Amino acid sequence: LYNEGLITVPEGVLKLQIGQEGEDVIRVELRDRDLRLPQRRTLTSGCGGGITFVDLAAAREPLNSSLRVTVGQISSLMKRLRTIIADDRHRIGGFHAAALSDGHQLSIINTDIGRHNTLDKVAGECLTRNIPMQESILLTTGRISTEMLGKAARMQTPVVVTLNSPTNLAVELANQWNITLIGYARGTKMHVYSGWQRITPPNKRQRQSHRPLPEHRLQDFCATKKAPSLTYTP
């Protein structure tokens, strides 16, 4: 509800009722009953099927953030997330994870079969535990689509990092919304697609290259733009 812009605080939910056994329904009564919901919806293709409101996601203001991060921080945080979920991934597989970090530790970690749902869970936990999402780093194992980036923008997290790729449209929106978008953050390498101003310049132990990413046929399946690649040597 928060990530879709239907509430701004937990108190926006007046009543919540979970359906009885065998009934996959959750009934929610909102405090603001005069909501003007957008008429156009996009049903995402992610497992678990998150529904997003295109009109709400398209009206974002650029984020104003002074957060700075290093390549070493990003590499370390993603490695930590992968380590934490490694056993479950090996035992179960088939799920995604998302985490929120202040740059030093992973404050919140959530998993779900749907990548969209992991961001919703992180946002919900932040609201209920009164944890600020601004000036934070959002990490995910899932591909960054326009819907995923819209949720990150709603959470006001200026840095978004994924193990996988962003889509072309997500890269364009990241530039428009002033979000630092980092993809393929695996091991000591990562691609920075937007928001270079938040990345601390490489030192002598880091090297920078400008190799193009592989081209893909589907425009909104993987980002096809040439992105600089930062390599971190610990």
Burial class (CB in 10 A: 0-12, 13-18, 19+), 54: middle
Q: Are 137 and 74 in contact (CB under 8 A)?
A: yes
**Residues taking part in catalysis:** 47
Q: What is the pLDDT of residue 157?
A: 96
Rg of the chain, C-alpha, whole Å: 18
Report the amino acid identity of residue 16. L
φ, ψ for residue 73, nearest 5 deg: -60, -50
Average pLDDT over residues 138-161: 94
Average pLDDT over residues 175-182: 94
Q: What is the pLDDT of residue 46?
A: 47
Terminus-to-terminus CA distance in the chain, angstroms?
Answer: 41
Which domains occur in the chain, in start order?
A: 10-57 (no CATH), 71-232 (3.40.140.10)
CA angle 33, 60, 119 (to 5 degrees): 75
Encode pLDDT of 217-232 as tens digits. 333 334 444 566 565 5
The highest-confidence range among 157-166, 185-194, 224-233, by mean pLDDT, is 157-166
Q: What is the pLDDT of residue 224?
A: 44
> pTM value?
0.75
Strand-strand pairing, 180-186 and 159-162: parallel
pLDDT at 202 over 90: no
Encode pLDDT of 98-148 as tens digits. 999 999 999 999 999 999 999 999 999 998 898 999 999 999 999 999 889
Higher model confidence: residue 134 or residue 205? 134
